[in-house]
Amino acid sequence: MSAKPVILVTRKLPDAVENKLAEAFTPMLNPRDKLYDTEELLRLAEEADAILPCHTEKFSAETIARLPSRIQAIANFSVGVDHVDLEAARQKGVIVTNTPDVLSDATAEIAMLLMLGAARRASEGERIMRNQQWKDWSPAFMVGRQITGKRLGILGMGRVGQVVAQRGRGFGMTIHYHNRNPLDSEQASGAIYHDSVESLLANIDVLSIHCPASDATRGLIDAQRLAVMHPDSILVNTSRGAVVDDDSLVDALNSGVIAAAGLDVYNGEPDSIHPGYRELDNVFLLPHIGSATVETRDAMGYRAIDNLVAIFKGEAPGDRVA
C-alpha cells in the first residue's frame, strides 16, 4: 500500500488497537466515543475508504445504498453481523468482515457467570448487602439452585457454544445441544444432539443460547417453547436479544414457568430494554459485556485490522461474511 487508506473508526477502541491501526492506515478516530447517528456517519464516511464499526452502528439497506462509492469495506469490531444488511452490501460491492474465534473464551466465561448468578440468586444477594438488609442467617435464607451435575442445553453449538460445553463439563454437567446439523463425534465430545428446539428444551435444566440473530431465529424462544421447559429451568442468553421474545420470557419468569434467567443481551439495548426485567428478582442482568476483557477486545481489534490489511492489498480477508 502506498498512500495510507483512510479508515473511519466509529467508537473508541483500545489504545493498542488504535496504535496498530495507525501503522498501516490513516484512522479517523472517535476519542469521545460518541455514538454517531446515521447522517453523521454518512457525512464522515465521505472522507474514508473503509469503516471499522461496532454492533452499535446500524447499516440498513438504505444506509448502505447511501454510502460513498469510495467505501470498500465494513470491517466489523464484532462477531455478530445482524446490524449490517449483508445482501445490500453485496449488491453495492462493499466487503463485510467480522471478528470470530477471539471472543469465544470471554463470552463463555460470561455465560457461566450468568448461569451461576441466576441459579444462586446473586442479584438479590448483592442488593441485600449494598442496602444493609442482611439481618440473619438461616437454613431457609437465599436458597438457590446448583448447576453442578445438571443438564446443560446449548442452542447453537458453534465456537462459543463448544467452549461453554467445555466449561459446563467442568461443573459435571451433561451436555445437550441443538444445531442445524449434528457435530462430528470429536467436536461433540459426547454431547447429546437434539433434532428440534423442543426436544432440547424438554430434556435440560439450563439453556444457554448461542445462535446468531437472523430471520430464522428472531423470537425463537417464545411462550410456546418456554412452556416446554420445566419449572426449575434457567435460561441464559449471551448471543443476541432478538432470539428471545421479551414479553414471553417476562411472563414465564413472573408465573413460574421457568425459575430464573441470566441475560447479557437484549432487544432494544441499551435504551429500550423491556422494563419487566428490571422488576424481577429472578433475573441476573449484565450490560452486554460478553467480550469485555482487555485480551479479547485487543484481539478483536487486531483481527479487524488484519481483515483491512488483506482487503487493501487486494487479497481475500480471512473473515469475510459478504
Give me the active site residues, please: 240, 269, 288
Label residue 283 left, alpha or beta by phi (over 0 means left) and psi (-120 to 50 means alpha). beta
Q: Contact at 8 Å (CB) between 160 and 210?
A: yes
Q: C-alpha grid cell for residue 54?
A: 461496532
In the chain, where does DSSP find H-type helix?
15-24, 38-45, 61-65, 86-92, 104-119, 122-130, 159-170, 185-188, 197-201, 223-226, 246-255, 275-279, 294-312
Which residue type occupies 108? A
Q: C-alpha grid cell for residue 143?
A: 436458597
For 148, counting Cβ atoms within 10 Å of its Cβ (0-12 exposed, 13-18 middle, 19+ buried), the class is exposed
Q: Contact at 8 Å (CB) between 37 and 12?
A: no
